[in-house]
Amino acid sequence: MEENVIKDRIQDVRERFLSGNQIEEIRQNVTSLVNERLDEFQNAQNNAFKELEIAIDKLESHQREMIAYFNKQLIALEEEQKASNGEVLKLASMQNLNASKSNKNKENVVSKNIFSHFKKLANNNILAFLAVVSFLGILVLNFL
């Protein structure tokens, strides 16, 4: 009930101070002002959306450029690594060739060393044999 009393008093105050045309005029002014603000807001939203699309396009373009740049860098690094690997393989094969030559030289040196030791041993044995034969010959001649 109190609510109805308050509503009635508000209606009485409106009717005393404002005529029906003035109330409608105020409504239209408020409505037009709200509509203007909504239009401005929509225009600002549309402009912001367009700017956002432009920024996204620029970002995507920059992203594609960076991907292309890094792909070029990656390809250059791969080519450099292939060249480096080729050089390493060449050096390794040269080192293997040198190692096999040095192994052959070592084998030759070892076989020459063995032969020279055998030769010395044979010379020593021959000399010892001749010494023993000479000694025996001397002994035989002394007893005869």
Judged against a pLDDT cut of 80, whether residue 73 lies above it is answered with yes
Judged against a pLDDT cut of 90, whether residue 42 lies above it is answered with yes
Judged against a pLDDT cut of 70, whether residue 17 lies above it is answered with no
Judged against a pLDDT cut of 70, whether residue 32 lies above it is answered with yes
Closest CA to 133 of 141, 122, 144: 141
Domain edges within the chain: 10-58
Structure tokens that stand for 136 in this block: 């025996």
Judged against a pLDDT cut of 60, whether residue 103 lies above it is answered with no
Please state, in angstroms and rounded to a whole number, the distance separating the CA atoms of residues 144 and 139.
9
Contacts 24+ apart (CB under 8 A), 90-99: none
pLDDT at position 45, please?
95
